[in-house]
Amino acid sequence: MLCCLCLLLPAAALADWQRFTQSGNTERTGLTLVTDLPAAQARALVAQLNGFDAVTRHFIPGPVDQTLPELRLVVFARRAMFEKVVNQRHFAAYTQPEIASTTLVVGPEDDHNVVENTLHEYVHYRLRTQPIAFPRWYEEGLAVMLSAAELDAQRQQARVGHRLPAQMLLVNPALPTMKRLLTPIHTKPWPKSRLPGFYKHSAYLVRYLWLAGGTDQISRRQAALQAHLADRDQALPELLQVSHTELTRQVRQFNHSSITPITIDVPEQGETQLEIEPLSQRELLELKAQTAELPNPGYAAAVYRRLTRAYPGEAAYWAALARSYSFSSRAAGKADRALAEAVRLQPDHPEVLVQQAAAMVRNCPLDPSLRCLPAWRAASTPLRRALQSNPSHFRAILWLGTLELYAGNPGSALNYLRIAHSRAPWSPRVNYHLGECLRLVGNPRAAQHLQQAIWWSQDPDLRSLASAALDLMRNQNRS
């Protein structure tokens, strides 16, 4: 069987990948880096992330939640392999949602700048685990600015804000208007040609808010920013007592001047203690399939097919294959056949039971109508059996909370969805369902979760549902 698996990947690719594990500390429960970077570069990246966290905290307005969920980094050293696995040419990093722990997937730009891309994505991780919803322009602008920070381990300092990433300086995109920039929309539907302008203008605005002028001016702008974050109906320019046009002029004037950086103290890190293990052939295939599952389900299905051929008796691989097929309506038959094989092999396996439930509601995953009620009720049986076998199974918890919500039991759903949110606060789907649940029980915190779903989701249907729920909530509050 091992020889069969050896044929699936080149020997050089298999030998390069390693797992670097850092035990938990007071601020993060643990960090795992899986990468084909050379060991020295991987160690340096972990050490840099440990110091970089203090830099990120400095730019979080208001109270900072110091406790972070477990972080898993998947870093590709080669751009070609990153593009092959995730099927993505326009971005070099993304946060993988809908899973039980945060995974940041990072690739280089033209086989370099992998550190900047990792720091950029870490900012998203840090902001999305906070108790406040940050608008997209602030997330992206801060991520761009901080990814170019200069960390000096010897002096235990970081210099921030005086420069932007080199690749951003090489392009001169058309910048969106300030009004367009501050409009709370998702950038996913935008043409790719417009995104560089959005990122650059966002970085210009964030840099202006934190660095322009003296201490009193910066404090006044930070107060305005916090007021805007607390109540989005208060427009940022109005809080700054300027028009959109005047704010645009000030931001551009500042960013085209000589900028003095902020100097931030970085706590001494000490020697980074890491456990290092080479990935087995099987583990590397699992990693690539799991990483590709959301952005590139076709590739994930191809890898899971290889795993089912190499390990035909593993029910979990057949269930994962069914899940990958389920992303395409044209592959419904293949998904059903893969699931049937998983059930035949191990009908009580939690992954198999959860996939059974997902198949039952395949045609109405976001539909609370009476038409879908029988399907949701039927799906509760395998989900409860999955939780009996594995009480911490993330997808079972999330799906059962969703089921209770759509079955008209928001009080019961709330228990499951709060657990799901504690495990995946960055997930758009979790935030939507939790927000809708809180709205139905009259909890005003619903607005924050619905807003996060709108900003973070790449699914237009989910964004539309969250927007409708938020509008309904606001109309009810006004009446």
Query: Is residue 287 located within the same domain as residue 255?
Result: no
Structural domain ending residue among the three candidates 347, 367, 382: 347
CA distance readout (Å), 28 to 58, 70, 71: 17, 6, 8
Query: Is residue 191 located within the same domain as residue 290?
Result: no
pLDDT digits over 190-242, tens only?
Answer: 667 778 889 999 999 999 999 999 999 999 999 999 999 888 778 999 999 99
Query: Is residue 69 located within the same domain as residue 27?
Result: yes
Query: Is residue 339 located within the same domain as residue 195?
Result: no
Stretches where the chain sits below pLDDT 50 are: 1-14, 26, 97-100
pLDDT at 5: 41
Question: Which is it for strands 31-35 and 18-22: parallel, antiparallel or unpaired?
Answer: antiparallel
Query: Is residue 113 located within the same domain as residue 250?
Result: yes
Structural domain ending residue among the three candidates 241, 265, 289: 265
pLDDT at 368: 67
Place of tokens 């500042």: 254
Query: Is residue 139 located within the same domain as residue 235?
Result: yes
pLDDT at 99: 47
Q: What distance in Å separates the CA atoms of residue 23 and residue 8, rounded to the nearest whole number? A: 32
pLDDT at 362: 86
For 395, half-sphere exposure in the C-beta direction (CA atoms, 13 angstrom radius) is 17
Within 8 A by CB and 6+ apart from 239, the residues are 224, 225, 227, 228
pLDDT at 210: 95
Query: Is residue 293 located within the same domain as residue 255?
Result: no
Quote the domain boundaries for residue 331.
Answer: 1-12+281-347
**Number of folded domains in the chain?**
2
Query: Is residue 198 located within the same domain as residue 237?
Result: yes
pLDDT digits over 29-63, tens only?
Answer: 578 999 999 999 999 899 888 889 889 989 988 77
Query: Is residue 132 located within the same domain as residue 7?
Result: no
The pTM of this model reads: 0.84
Q: What distance in Å separates the CA atoms of residue 278 and residue 291, rounded to the nearest whole number? A: 18
Q: Is residue 341 within 8 Å of residue 318, measured between CB atoms?
A: yes
Residue 164 in tokens: 């932007």
Query: Is residue 148 located within the same domain as residue 259?
Result: yes
Which CATH number does the domain housing residue 151 bear? 1.10.390
Q: What distance in Å separates the CA atoms of residue 269 and residue 208, rounded to the nearest whole number? A: 30
pLDDT at 289: 95
